[in-house]
Amino acid sequence: MRKHPPLAPPPAKILVIALRHLGDVLLITPLVRSLHEAYSQAQIDVLVFSNTAAILEGNPDINRIITTPLRPTRADYRHLVSQLFRRYNLAVITQTGDRPFIYGFLAAPERVAVVPKKDQKGAWKRHLVQYWTEFDDENTHTVLQLLKLADLVGAPRNYTLTPPQSPDNQSTSVLSMNSDYAVIHTYPMWHYKRWTINGWVETAQFLQNSGCKVVLSGGPAPEEIDYVNQIHRQLSPEVLNLAGKTSISQLADLIGKAKLYIGPDTGITHLAAATGVPVIALYGPTNPVKWAPWPINYNSDENPFRKLGDQRVNNVYLIQGIADCVPCHQEGCDRNRQSRSACLENITPEAIKKTILQILHQEQRQQQTTHAL
How does pLDDT run across 195-245, given as a tens digit for each residue?
A: 999 999 999 999 999 999 999 999 999 999 999 999 999 999 999 999 999
Q: What is the pLDDT of residue 4?
A: 84
Q: What is the pLDDT of residue 1?
A: 52
The percentage of residues in the chain with a pLDDT greater than 70, rounded to a whole number, is: 95
Largest CA distance in the chain: 66
Three-class secondary structure of residue 240 per DSSP: strand
Q: What is the pLDDT of residue 353?
A: 98
Q: What is the pLDDT of residue 366?
A: 79
Q: What's the whole-model pTM score?
A: 0.95
Do residues 289 and 138 lie in contact, with contact meaning Cβ atoms separated by under 8 Å? yes
Give 368 or 333, the one with higher predicted confidence: 333
Continuous H helices in 233-348: 248-256, 267-275, 288-291, 342-345
User: pLDDT tens-digit profile of 247-280?
Assistant: 999 999 999 999 999 999 999 999 999 999 999 9
Q: What is the pLDDT of residue 45?
A: 98
pLDDT tops 80 at residue 174: no
User: Dihedral of the CA atoms 15, 139, 252, 369 (nearest 10)?
Assistant: -130
pLDDT tops 90 at residue 343: yes
Three-class secondary structure of residue 168 per DSSP: helix
Q: What is the pLDDT of residue 169?
A: 46
